[in-house]
């Protein structure tokens, strides 16, 4: 029987729960659900595909259909709120509610992963101990990090990495080495946890200019105009570049320093023509004088 508390994605739960019920009762169909919830029979499939979100009324209706008691209904509502959260802080708030639920398999995995991404320096320590001869001097290792961290932070980080099987101590040398062990609790919690990690690294990056000279850092930014197709191509270019960086780093036989490479691609304006909202097209003063065709402006700032 499907266990609701093993899920972090309500769409995956609804898909599995529906298939289980439908297999035992052919009358339990999309049409049946549509009649109970009060929408078109095609809407349920759109919800499963992520093309439509659940409204507050629909959440209650789906909970009545797929949940057995009030505890399950509460978990289901929190799961929907987590998946449909509009901000990182809201997403994290609901994730913490979900992993706090006892008996679920999600709890230990998601909580450990969330703890790993909760501090930016865990990833630094994981890289640092592979070439720094750490044998217990946590204060000295903490001073190797930029910006430095405390001895207690080093100890807790090493303990976490060992618990997650991300590093292990070589019994012959007594030094740490990386393992292939990774943790995963599903893309939804992963996204939330990584957002927190990225935010912390952006905060660290803002102080890089003051902490390092020009010869030790490479900072640049680029503003440009393009269309949706070009944007999608740029996203793929970034992904390829990341793979190339990882391949190059993998060829490094004797690393002696930990670096961070940050890449961000996000909009700085609304699209034009602006989207139609509530049946009205927003007018922009002077739009008749805007350039057409392939005309665009680009501005680049480089720290080199």
Q: Is the pLDDT of residue 10 over 90?
A: yes
Q: Is the pLDDT of residue 275 over 80?
A: no
Range with top average pLDDT, 29-33, 112-116, 212-216: 29-33
Whether pLDDT at 139 is above 60? yes
Q: What is the largest CA-CA distance in the chain?
A: 74
Question: Could you give the C-alpha distances from 202 to 17, 70, 194, in angstroms and in order?
Answer: 40, 41, 12
pLDDT of residue 286: 52
Structural domains in the chain plus CATH codes: 4-84 (1.10.260), 87-206 (1.10.10), 214-302 (no CATH)
The answer for residues whose C-beta is within 8 angstroms of residue 140's C-beta and 6 or more apart is none
Where residue 90 falls among pLDDT bands split at 50, 70, 90? confident
Q: Is the pTM of the predicted complex or chain greater than 0.75? A: no
For the chain, what is the mean pLDDT? Answer: 81
Tens-place pLDDT, residues 35-52? 999 998 899 999 999 999
Q: Give the pLDDT band (50/70/90) at residue 277.
A: low
Of the listed ranges 7-21, 72-86, 109-123, 166-180, the one predicted with least confidence:
109-123
- Cβ–Cβ contacts within 10 Å for residue 116, how many? 21
């Amino acid at each position: 029987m499907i266990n609701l508390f093993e899920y972090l994605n309500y769409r995956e739960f609804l898909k599995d729960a529906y298939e289980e019920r439908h297999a035992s009762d052919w009358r339990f169909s999309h049409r049946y659900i549509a009649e109970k919830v009060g929408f078109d029979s095609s809407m349920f499939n759109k919800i499963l595909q992520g093309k439509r979100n659940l409204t507050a009324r629909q959440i209650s209706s789906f909970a009545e259909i797929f949940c057995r008691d009030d505890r399950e209904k509460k978990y289901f509502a929190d799961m929907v709120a987590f998946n449909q959260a509009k901000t990182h802080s809201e997403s994290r708030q609901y994730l913490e509610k979900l992993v706090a639920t006892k008996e679920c398999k999600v709890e230990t995995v998601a909580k450990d992963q969330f703890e790993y991404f909760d501090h930016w320096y865990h990833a630094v320590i994981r890289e640092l101990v592979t070439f720094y001869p750490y044998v217990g001097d946590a204060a000295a290792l903490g001073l190797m990090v930029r910006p430095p961290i405390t001895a207690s932070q080093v100890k807790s980080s090493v303990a976490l990495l060992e618990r997650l099987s991300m590093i292990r101590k070589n019994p012959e040398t007594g030094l740490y080495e990386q393992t292939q062990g990774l943790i995963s609790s599903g893309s939804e919690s992963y996204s939330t946890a990584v957002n927190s990690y990225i935010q912390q690294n952006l905060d660290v990056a803002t102080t890089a200019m003051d902490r390092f000279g020009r010869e030790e850092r490479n900072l640049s930014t680029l503003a440009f105009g393009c269309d949706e197709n070009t944007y999608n191509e740029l996203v793929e270019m970034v992904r390829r570049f990341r793979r190339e960086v990882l391949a190059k780093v993998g060829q490094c036989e004797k690393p002696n320093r930990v670096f961070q490479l940050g890449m961000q691609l996000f909009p700085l304006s609304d699209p034009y023509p602006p989207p139609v909202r509530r049946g009205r097209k927003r007018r922009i003063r002077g739009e008749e004088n805007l350039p057409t065709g392939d005309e665009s402006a680009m501005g680049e700032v480089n720290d080199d």
